[in-house]
């Protein structure tokens, strides 16, 4: 792991290897790609659109979407743009590509051609290559981002940035811990330093590519201080490699006070740490993810969850909101279902745009606790790293200073357990090795005790399970007997 | 009486870990001895674990939509290895997109699965069914 | 118009006439009806369910629904109860019955039988009579209310209360001004004093019938002070006749601060005026109506509007919320669409139930202005009436002290014009004869001026029209060029 | 040139007044002389007003769902009164419930309406159409 911008020669040497990982790698010509990127109009660039959203105090809307075949994929994106009114578009990558299993991705493509339906859960951009990407991105009127979950995303970055995408999601931590099992954190961080270096290279040549650490992590009862710490670390890592436009993210918890406090502190703390390490020229924006946990199967109920996320995103002042669809509980949505999620969201972002929402004392109190927690984690983490952000992160995970609930990655401690308090805010019930002082811990214990008393039961793993199911069963807090408390 | 071994895991390149944690907990609570292979489990890993632990059932989860591609040939493989008596269950979001479940069920049964569950199926139903199926085989009292 | 409880003998004399208005009137036997009402379990009574919702800090959900034929109507209500999860049920009456056109209602019934579809926009309870009502209400597990819009609702009340309904919507003002053209306010208030006297009679005999003035009036940019004044006057009128359980209502305006302030002041002010006139034993609850103006045609967008209403209802602390359906812009919803509106709403009332929401300084400021305005109107109104609430109301409308925007009734002045301010709150742009002092008027002018400057145009009728269309076109404030401001 | 008279109103027991106010405003802005009968207007009132003012068009609104029952025989009535030249338009939420508009259109055309508009139709479309229809009749330059 580097603790400075990767020297150009080392970077270029590594590029050769990377481009050799799959046949389409040879399509990439970096200088030509930069020229191509420069030819893209401002209105189709992520960085510009985000900047003007901040000025206009708008919350932009963006779906997730990706299918196996190029024509179908373009048709899908056009539909989401024209019918759904998406302000920003995605290209969600399939799971084989995410695990660099390009041969299996190819099988998926071939089978999809044969059966006439997409058998992949996303768009296999590496297999399709640079020209196909360009033909898609250039046919759309709004900026397009790569969204994935790829631990080693170097080749994918090379191909998609040359392919005209102007934003790239992910990070060495956020695309490892929730998205893999056996990937070494050291390796994924190093690989993502390559991606950030590539973005930094474009930046040096005058082309800004937006970078977005993946905020929600496992999407399942993640306390804000955990996802904030990961976001800040990945922002520092990206900035170090020369990225200048970063969108930090957070997945809705469902308690509005906590969600608003989270988005506001996320922005503040990210800027604070970037400034502290001399990256004050980085532009920071925020993304709010509509509920990332299990959804209700009933579509009318799913619309309610989508709406609640949309309104909270606006009231929190997020720069953009990632939208779910009413099919969420079932499977990858049809184009129609996906557009419906967008339309619901747009109605609310427009209706709420003009409303003011101030900081209540509850929001301030919640911001205060999130700040304290995040600073505790960040300071302890930075101390471990010998001025190397990557090393800090690796050691923080090793020692459980940062601990993501329900993560599949073996390098995650998995000792921390969250649960909701009586108002539905996410608190922590097993701290594992989180570096919190007793006053913070007492706060959590007190909050959970309140709930335990109301429900007349102990805080336990059963309570956590109840909370995991709650939203899909029509509640926020997983009460023992629905409706009784 | 000794506890019955069941192998659980999430197949393919799938990393959805939450349901897996709960299935582990639920089967353990129900009195089974759970061998949890976690996420990103290959067909072969399922088979090896079943052989090694003399498991009576393999509970496969697939959430991410590649279930069809990931499970092809699994039934045959187990049969060839002489594991035709091991009960093979699967649940989750088995195919890409919202679709007619009866079609999906047929598809996976044809691939050798004994029981196939729709999205969001109650895991307790799976436990119930397993107990009954084991009883029928004379394994579970 | 009476200024005291109608003397029993006068009331009973009038009853004879009333029961003669249509053949089914003779089915009503008051003493037997009281016995029947007493046999209804507590859990199926409106008054009890509202009382326990207040204790449990729950917001109950209730749809609108009514079709021409009894079997179909019962099937519909059962579906809304079982599939939709309605906490309270309605029986919406058709428009012919509302105008006492029982012969035309009969044609509608006959045609509906003939064609096999409901050609009426509601349930013609008078034509169906007491026994049919009982057979419906007694087949359901939750309380059922009569919802209508009937200027002269005396016979309907006789039949439906004898028929086992435990709540009755309407009032002499709120069911005249938005629902009629040529009805004399004096007459409708007097007729509704009869209805209230009937409810008071049941109350004397130990049977509590819930009464609900119709809060939203025309549903179109109605300032809270106007609907509050009507609600308070009708509460006083009802209390005077012996009603002891009153639910005052308000139609969502869409600006959350204003909506929360409105529900809170509505409850406070109603109690305040009831106490002042010695009716402190009346139980007051509140009902929040999801957006009552023009809806978006797109169902995904309609879900957003429904959701926004649902969440505001909970955060405002309303006792119940009246639910719209995703078919709203098109026509009377199918059972499925109606249940979908309920499910969306229930998801939110449950998810938000546990969340605390305090009074922000904005909410307090808005409460303050609504209180001032309402008190100005009420004090001026009461002064006119020589201790007769009905007379107060009639004279207040005559002189435009109370003025409902877009009302069809000729007895309404129609000089006041509302428009949204820059945050989407409803303000007043033409005051007509509203009895506001200059400081209040200046507040409104200032607020509208703010918007006018942002939009670079004058406050004008075009602005009002733009506001009327706004929600159906995906905005709250009707900006001149969508998206531009 | 003198302004052309059009009669507008909401038919039957319907009290939806908001659209009516806007239609009044829009037709007036477009240069017509509007005779607005308001809400709760009977067929006969429409006819009498049209005769009295020598109106070239009757613009009926029906929002509340009883449109079919309320409009029966209206075309015939006008014809019998010798008003077959008066253009008869209708718009709003014409029937109870969300329904196939082409059916609704057919139904109302069979009742003598020249133009029939779906829920939420843009009133400016109606104005445009009226101008064209009048032009065809040689009335509107
Ligand atoms: C949380 C989540 C994530 C998290 C997962 C974090 C983690 N590592 O665990 C993150 C954000 C990382 C993620 C990533 C992805 N996800 Co995801 N995810 C979800 C979500 C919202 C909830 C899943 C969950 O935890 N549910 C709660 C648990 C308790 O329920 P469960 O998982 O369904 O398991 C229960 C039942 O299925 C059942 N069950 C399971 N197996 C079995 C077996 C038997 C025998 C029985 C009886 C029962 C049974 O019992 C379990 C316990 O109750 C679902 C949608 C939903 N359900 O609302 C999508 C969903 C599963 N994800 C989906 C997809 C496509 C992805 C991604 C490819 C792309 C993306 N959208 O980013 C990646 C895939 C990564 C990969 N390689 O696997 C799709 C799958 C599509 C399809 N099948 O058509 C879904 C359905 C969303 C959607 N509609 O598009 N996801
Ligand atoms: C506000 C409203 C009310 C208010 C009306 C206040 C008032 N007096 O004006 C109140 C609450 C009192 C009310 C009462 C009722 N309403 Co109402 N109401 C509405 C609502 C929400 C908005 C109507 C509105 O003002 N829209 C804004 C204006 C600008 O649009 P508009 O009215 O559609 O008019 C425009 C177009 O239709 C078009 N247009 C109209 N006529 C013509 C003619 C031509 C030639 C052309 C080109 C265009 C055109 O141009 C107009 C101007 O842009 C609608 C649903 C909706 N649209 O979202 C229901 C709706 C019209 N109401 C309905 C019903 C059933 C009722 C009630 C019977 C029962 C009830 N739900 O309480 C009573 C009826 C009372 C009666 N006797 O008429 C139904 C009608 C059902 C159907 N057709 O199947 C609707 C559709 C709601 C629903 N989905 O159930 N209502």
pLDDT tens for residues D22-34?
999 999 999 999 9
Do β-strands D87-92 and B87-92 pair in parallel, antiparallel, or remain unpaired? unpaired
CA dist., res. C205 & res. C201, Å (int):
6
Query: In 3D, which of A177, A223, A103, A195 has the Cα closest to residue A409?
Result: A177
Digit-by-digit pLDDT tens for chain B (141 residues) are: 689 999 999 999 999 999 999 999 999 999 999 999 999 999 999 999 999 999 999 999 999 998 998 999 999 999 999 999 999 999 999 988 888 999 999 999 999 999 999 999 999 999 999 999 999 988 865
CA dist., res. C138 & res. A206, Å (int):
75
pLDDT, one tens digit per residue, over D106-128 is: 999 999 999 999 999 999 999 99
Q: Which helix (H) or strand (E) holds A480?
A: none
Please report the pLDDT score of residue A356 as a whole number.
Answer: 78
pLDDT, one tens digit per residue, over A466-483 is: 999 999 999 999 999 644
CA dist., res. A164 & res. C111, Å (int):
63
CA-based torsion, A153, A159, A163, A166: positive or negative: positive
Interval between CA C71 and ligand 2 midpoint (Å) = 27
> Mutate which of C93, C332, C460 to disrupt the D interface (most D C-beta within 10 Å)?
C332
Residues whose CB is less than 8 angstroms from the CB of residue A215 and which lie 6 or more positions away in sequence, other chains included: A174, A227, A231, A248, A249, A250, A251, A266, A287, A289
Q: Is residue B116 classed as helix, strand or coil in its secondary structure?
A: strand
Does C295 sit in the ligand 2 pocket, CB within 6 Å?
A: yes
Mean pLDDT of A338-351: 98
pTM of the full structure:
0.96
- Counting ligand 2 atoms within 8 A of each CB, the residue from C331, C341, C411, C474 with the most, and so the one to mutate, is C331
CA dist., res. A222 & res. A252, Å (int):
9
Do β-strands C417-420 and C426-430 pair in parallel, antiparallel, or remain unpaired? antiparallel
Residues enclosing ligand 1, CB less than 6 A?
Answer: A 64, 92, 95, 98, 121, 149, 178-179, 216, 218-220, 292-295, 327-329, 331-332, 406, 408, 468; B 13-19, 22-23, 59, 61, 63-65, 89-93, 96-97, 117, 120-121, 123, 126
Give the ligand 2 atom nearest the CA of C147: 72
Say which of C119, C180, C468 has its CB closest to residue D96.
C119
Q: Which residue has the tokens 């004279």?
A: C395
Cα–chain center distance at C257? 21
**Contact residues, chain C, for A422 at CB < 8 Å:** 354
Q: For C259, which residue in chain A has the nearest alpha carbon?
A: A355
Interface present between C and B (3 or more CB pairs within 8 Å): no
A106 φ/ψ sector (left φ>0, alpha ψ -120 to 50, else beta) = alpha
Name the token pair of B117: 């569950």
pLDDT, one tens digit per residue, over A251-282 is: 999 999 999 999 999 999 999 999 999 999 99
Please report the pLDDT score of residue D141 as a whole number.
Answer: 55
Binary contact (B66, A220; C-beta < 8 A): no
Q: Tell whether domain B56-141 is in CATH 3.40.50.280.
A: yes
> Which percentage of chain A shows pLDDT scores above 90?
96
Interval between CA A369 and ligand 1 midpoint (Å) = 31
Degrees to nearest 5, angle at CA A441 with A440 and A442: 90
CA distance to partner chain A, nearest, from residue C454 (Å): 12
Say which of A101, A327, A465 has its CB closest to residue B22.
A465
Give the ligand 1 atom nearest the CA of B60: 43
Do β-strands D5-10 and D57-62 pair in parallel, antiparallel, or remain unpaired? parallel
Mean pLDDT of D90-115: 93
Name the token pair of C16: 């004879």
Other beta carbons within 10 angstroms of residue A102's beta carbon come to: 18
Complete DSSP assignment for C368-397:
HHHHHHHHHHHHHHHHHTTT-HHHHHHHHH
pLDDT, one tens digit per residue, over A95-130 is: 999 999 999 999 999 999 999 988 899 999 999 999
Q: Which helix (H) or strand (E) holds A355?
A: none
Domains belonging to chain A, first-starting first, are 8-352 (3.20.20.240)
Spatial contact of A47 and A168, defined as CB atoms under 8 Å apart: no
pLDDT, one tens digit per residue, over A403-461 is: 999 999 999 999 999 999 999 999 999 999 999 999 999 999 999 999 999 999 999 99
Please report the pLDDT score of residue A202 as a whole number.
Answer: 98
CA dist., res. C298 & res. C314, Å (int):
25
pLDDT, one tens digit per residue, over C337-394 is: 999 999 999 999 999 998 877 778 899 999 999 999 999 999 999 999 989 999 999 9
Spatial contact of A171 and A238, defined as CB atoms under 8 Å apart: yes
Does D107 sit in the ligand 2 pocket, CB within 6 Å?
A: no
Interval between CA A407 and ligand 1 midpoint (Å) = 13
Spatial contact of C300 and A333, defined as CB atoms under 8 Å apart: no
Please report the pLDDT score of residue C366 as a whole number.
Answer: 97
Say which of B12, B13, B17 has its CB closest to residue A406.
B17
CA dist., res. A248 & res. A42, Å (int):
22
Please report the pLDDT score of residue D1 as a whole number.
Answer: 63
Other beta carbons within 10 angstroms of residue B100's beta carbon come to: 9
Q: Please report, for chain B, the start and end positions of each structural domain, with discontinuous segments joined by +.
A: 56-141
Q: In this complex, is the C-beta atom of A151 within 8 Å of any C-beta atom belonging to chain B?
A: no
Interval between CA B16 and ligand 1 midpoint (Å) = 5
Residue A485 pLDDT more than 60?
no
Q: How are strands ordered across the β-sheet holding C283-289? A: C60-62, C320-322, C283-289, C245-251, C210-212, C167-169, C144-147, C89-92
* Residues of chain C falling short of pLDDT 70: 481-485
CA dist., res. D6 & res. B64, Å (int):
62
Does D67 sit in the ligand 2 pocket, CB within 6 Å?
A: no
**What is the value of ipTM here, to two decimals?**
0.95
Please report the pLDDT score of residue C358 as a whole number.
Answer: 75
**Contact residues, chain C, for A480 at CB < 8 Å:** none
Please report the pLDDT score of residue A358 as a whole number.
Answer: 75
Please report the pLDDT score of residue A360 as a whole number.
Answer: 87
CA dist., res. C228 & res. C375, Å (int):
10
Query: Among A70-74, C36-40, D1-5, whose mean pLDDT is lowest?
Result: D1-5
Question: Average per-residue pLDDT in chain A?
Answer: 96
Name the token pair of C477: 């404030």
């Amino acid at each position: 792991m580097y603790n400075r911008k990767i020297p150009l020669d080392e970077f270029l040497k590594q590029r050769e290897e990377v481009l050799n990982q799959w046949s389409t790698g040879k399509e990439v010509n970096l200088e030509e790609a930069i020229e191509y990127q420069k030819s893209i109009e401002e209105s189709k660039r992520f960085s510009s659109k985000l900047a003007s959203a901040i000025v206009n105090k708008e919350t932009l809307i963006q779906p997730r979407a990706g299918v196996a075949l190029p024509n179908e994929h373009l048709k899908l994106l056009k539909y989401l743009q024209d019918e759904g009114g998406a302000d920003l578009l995605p290209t969600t990558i399939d799971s084989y590509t995410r695990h660099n299993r390009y041969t299996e991705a190819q099988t998926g493509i071939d089978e999809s051609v044969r059966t006439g339906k997409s058998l992949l859960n996303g768009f296999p951009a590496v297999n399709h290559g640079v020209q196909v990407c360009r033909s898609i991105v250039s046919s759309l009127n709004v900026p397009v981002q790569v969204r994935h979950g790829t631990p080693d995303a170097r080749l994918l970055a090379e191909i998609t940035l040359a392919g005209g995408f102007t934003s790239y999601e992910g990070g060495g931590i956020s695309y490892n811990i929730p998205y893999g099992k056996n990937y070494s954190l050291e390796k994924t961080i190093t690989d993502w330093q390559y991606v950030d270096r590539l973005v930094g290279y474009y930046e040096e040549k005058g082309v800004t590519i937006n970078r977005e650490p993946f905020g929600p992590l496992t999407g399942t009862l993640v306390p804000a201080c955990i996802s904030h710490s990961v976001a800040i670390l990945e922002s520092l890592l990206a900035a170090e490699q020369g990225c200048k436009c970063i969108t930090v993210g957070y997945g809705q918890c469902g308690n509005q006070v906590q969600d608003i406090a989270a988005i506001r502190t996320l922005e503040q703390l990210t800027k604070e740490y970037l400034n502290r390490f001399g990256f004050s020229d980085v532009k920071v924006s925020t993304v709010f993810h509509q509920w990332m946990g299990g959804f209700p199967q009933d579509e009318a109920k799913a619309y309610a969850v989508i709406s609640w996320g949309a309104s909270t995103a606006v009231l929190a002042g997020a720069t953009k909101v990632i939208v779910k669809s009413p099919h969420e509980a079932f499977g990858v949505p049809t184009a129609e279902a996906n557009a419906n999620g967008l339309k619901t969201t747009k109605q609310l972002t427009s209706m709420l745009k003009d409303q003011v929402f101030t900081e209540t004392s509850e929001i301030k109190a919640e911001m205060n606790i999130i700040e304290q927690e995040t600073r505790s984690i960040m300071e302890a983490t930075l101390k471990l790293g010998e001025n190397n952000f990557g090393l800090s992160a690796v050691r923080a995970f090793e020692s459980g200073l940062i601990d993501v609930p329900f993560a599949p990655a073996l390098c995650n401690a998995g000792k921390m357990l969250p649960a909701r308090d009586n108002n539905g805010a996410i608190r922590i019930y097993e701290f594992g090795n989180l570096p919190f002082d007793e006053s913070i811990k007492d706060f959590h214990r007190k909050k959970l005790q309140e709930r335990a008393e109301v429900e007349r039961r102990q805080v336990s793993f059963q309570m956590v399970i109840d909370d995991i199911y709650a939203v899909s069963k029509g509640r926020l807090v997983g009460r023992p007997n629905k409706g009784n408390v | 009486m000794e506890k019955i071994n069941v192998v659980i895991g999430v197949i393919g390149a799938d990393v959805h870990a939450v349901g897996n944690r709960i299935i582990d907990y639920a089967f353990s609570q129900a009195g089974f001895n759970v061998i949890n292979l976690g996420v990103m489990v290959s067909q072969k890993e399922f088979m090896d674990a079943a052989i090694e632990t003399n498991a009576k059932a393999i509970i496969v989860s697939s959430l991410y939509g590649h279930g069809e591609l990931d499970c092809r040939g699994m039934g045959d493989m187990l049969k060839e290895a002489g594991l035709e008596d091991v009960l093979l269950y699967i649940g989750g979001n088995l195919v890409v997109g919202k679709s007619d479940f009866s079609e999906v069920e047929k598809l996976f049964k044809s691939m050798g699965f004994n029981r196939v569950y729709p999205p969001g199926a109650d895991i307790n139903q799976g436990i119930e069914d397993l107990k009954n199926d084991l009883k029928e085989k004379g394994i579970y009292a």
